[in-house]
């Protein structure tokens, strides 16, 4: 019997299946990693927007995390939508208790549709409670700006400067995603104590990008769970996501921002 690498996603549920827990588990499966989950919130949403959010009690989020870690050999953790302040505290305490080797934090503030997914008063606790425990955080350009209370970065120098400022919050590395930028390329910037690495990819013309950020962070966690170093995990994840976006229009799911094609390699 060969042990399969295991990753845990701590995030919200997307009832339409394109983002959140559902996207994370699809990504883990597509990349050969066994996925476990701890659900922080239920959302009523589809490709057109979020109709409602029901937060899971913080103590039950803790119970889910403890149940997984007490039995499964978790190699990496991905954290997405945390929903509320009490949940952030519960997750932070769990990370202290179980000390996973890799933590990838996607600071989910707003959905693709524009709907807010984290209460304003909880953002400061995200900065102080979870970011310092992360191996990597993966904000997009608006999220990086919001975490720093700054305008959205408009050039490479400003992006790198914001990445450096985010490092001072205590995380080991930052991947600022360029999907909200302009131009023919979407450039992500990996900022760490070793320097800044620009990772370009062709910008793909499609509205079917629902769950892209969730899937990228979970793809990185999958790579780390398999024993890849951070740069390799980020590069492989970006290649996977680019192909999933390029194949998204083959699915025809919903009438708004449809999902990316997690299983493009298989059908």
Please give the positions annotated as active site: 177, 209, 211-214
Q: Rounded distance, CA 196 to CA 191, Å?
A: 4
Q: Rounded distance, CA 212 to CA 195, Å?
A: 25
Contact 166/202 with Cβ under 8 angstroms?
A: no
* Residue (of 10, 26, 28, 7) closest to 75 by Cα position: 7
Cα radius of gyration (the chain): 17
Q: Rounded distance, CA 247 to CA 18, Å?
A: 14
- The DSSP 8-state label assigned to residue 239 in this structure reads H
Reported residue count of the chain is 267
């Amino acid at each position: 019997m060969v042990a399969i690498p295991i990753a845990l996603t701590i995030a919200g549920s997307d009832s339409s299946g394109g983002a959140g827990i559902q996207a994370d588990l699809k990504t883990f499966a597509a990349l050969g990693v066994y996925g476990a989950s701890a659900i922080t919130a239920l959302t009523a949403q589809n490709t057109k927007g979020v109709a409602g959010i029901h937060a899971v009690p913080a103590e039950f989020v803790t119970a889910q995390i403890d149940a997984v870690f007490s039995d499964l050999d978790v190699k990496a953790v991905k954290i997405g939508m945390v929903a509320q302040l009490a949940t952030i505290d519960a997750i932070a305490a769990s990370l202290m208790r179980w000390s996973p080797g890799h933590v990838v934090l996607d600071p989910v503030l707003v959905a693709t549709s524009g709907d807010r997914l984290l209460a304003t008063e909880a953002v400061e606790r995200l900065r102080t409670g979870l970011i310092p425990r992360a191996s990597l955080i993966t904000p997009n350009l608006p999220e990086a700006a919001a975490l720093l209370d700054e305008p959205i970065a408009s050039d490479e120098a400003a992006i790198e400067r914001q990445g450096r400022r985010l490092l001072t919050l205590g995380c080991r590395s930052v991947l600022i995603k360029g999907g909200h930028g302009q131009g023919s390329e979407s450039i992500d910037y990996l900022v760490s104590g070793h320097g800044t690495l620009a990772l370009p990819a062709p910008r793909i013309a499609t509205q079917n990008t629902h769950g892209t950020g969730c899937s990228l962070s979970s793809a990185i966690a999958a790579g780390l769970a398999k024993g890849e170093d951070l740069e390799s995990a980020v590069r492989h994840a970006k290649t996977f996501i680019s192909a999933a976006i390029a194949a998204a229009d083959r699915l025809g799911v919903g009438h708004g921002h449809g999902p990316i094609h997690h299983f493009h390699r298989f059908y």
